[in-house]
Amino acid sequence: MVKRKINYGLYLITFVASLVIFISGLMVANMINDAKISSISKDLAYLEELRSIQETNMLLLDSLGEKKCDALSHYQASMVPELEELGKRVDMYESSSDGKRYLPGDYEMLKRSYTLLLIKYWTLSKTLEKDCSVPIDDILYFYSSNCEGCESQGIILNSIKKSHPETMIFSIDGELDLSPVIIIKHSYNVTQYPTLIVNSRQYEGLVSKDDLISLLETGKIEK
């Protein structure tokens, strides 16, 4: 019987090649993770800058007297694209299992900071509507992570934003342990998700696109 000679060199080459592939995979994963850390860190810094700017602007607005309404209207319009972009990034992190697995602390901080800024902006819109008689269509959308119908409601609201770009839509995670969120929920008696507050009127459960359009255009749901 002829003994086969074992080619240890071939085994060694195969092992080294496999090791290189494995290490390369780890390096790529670390690079992706570092990119995520950098992205969230930049967003957190940007949110902090926006918060400081907003506080300074509010002090300025209070000192403008009769010019306050014009300045308030301009300020509101300038904030819309920034908040929409930040909202998209929060949604991206929320839907990313990787983001939650690698960066739970930073992700939660980003979401809380964004929500606080969003609520400040909502109160600013209400001030503009009340003190300056500027008509504003706004929708407060309360959702939760494990809510039946919330994903569909979010899709409908995205469609509404495209067809009615002037409508202000504020999406708030009702499960966040933030006092402003708790206060608003208590004020409107929000007890289930999804819940929409459309121009200060409350609607529980999934609201269709047609009904939302009717509410925005006529103030009521057509039977």
The pLDDT tens digits of the residues spanning 67-117 come to 778 877 777 777 777 767 767 766 776 666 444 444 556 677 778 888 888
* Residue 78 or 196, more confident: 196
* Residue 116 or 40, more confident: 116
Q: Is 145 within 8 Å of 173 (Cβ atoms)?
A: yes
Asked whether residue 184 carries a pLDDT value surpassing 90, the answer given is yes
Answer yes or no: do 73 and 111 share one domain.
yes
Q: Look over the chain and give the mean of its residue pLDDT values, rounded to a whole number.
A: 76
* Other CB atoms within 10 Å distance of the CB of residue 54: 16
Q: What's the rounded mean pLDDT across residues 37-53? A: 66
Q: Please state, in angstroms and rounded to a whole number, the distance separating the CA atoms of residues 196 and 205.
A: 8
Asked whether residue 177 carries a pLDDT value surpassing 80, the answer given is yes
Answer yes or no: do 43 and 130 share one domain.
yes
Q: Please state, in angstroms and rounded to a whole number, the distance separating the CA atoms of residues 192 and 215.
A: 20
Asked whether residue 198 carries a pLDDT value surpassing 70, the answer given is yes
* Residue 87 or 193, more confident: 193
Answer yes or no: do 130 and 155 share one domain.
no
Task: Give the pLDDT of residue 107.
Answer: 72
Task: Give the pLDDT of residue 39.
Answer: 62
* Residue 25 or 202, more confident: 202
Asked whether residue 27 carries a pLDDT value surpassing 50, the answer given is no
Q: How confident is the model at residue 220 (pLDDT cuts 50, 70, 90)?
A: confident
Residue 24 is assigned to a structural domain of this protein = no
User: Which of 77, 104, 134 is the C-terminal boundary of a domain?
Assistant: 134
Cis before 194 (ω within 30): yes
Residue 104 is assigned to a structural domain of this protein = yes
Look up residue 110 and give its two tokens: 């980003």
Residues 6+ apart with CB under 8 A from 60: 71
Task: Give the pLDDT of residue 41.
Answer: 66
Look up residue 204 and give its two tokens: 């529980």
Residue 33 is assigned to a structural domain of this protein = no
Q: Which domain holds residue 80?
A: 39-134
Residue 144 is assigned to a structural domain of this protein = yes
User: Which of 134, 161, 187 is the C-terminal boundary of a domain?
Assistant: 134
User: Which of 85, 118, 134 is the C-terminal boundary of a domain?
Assistant: 134
Residue 89 is assigned to a structural domain of this protein = yes
Structural domains counted in the chain: 2
**Structural element, H or E, at residue 32:** helix 8-62
Q: Could you report the per-residue pLDDT of 140-170, keeping only the tens digit for each?
A: 999 998 898 999 999 999 999 889 988 888 9
Q: How confident is the model at residue 8 (pLDDT cuts 50, 70, 90)?
A: very low
Q: What's the rounded mean pLDDT across residues 121-139? A: 85
Task: Give the pLDDT of residue 10.
Answer: 53
Answer yes or no: do 127 and 163 share one domain.
no
Q: Is 131 within 8 Å of 120 (Cβ atoms)?
A: no
Answer yes or no: do 123 and 144 share one domain.
no
Q: Is 111 within 8 Å of 94 (Cβ atoms)?
A: yes
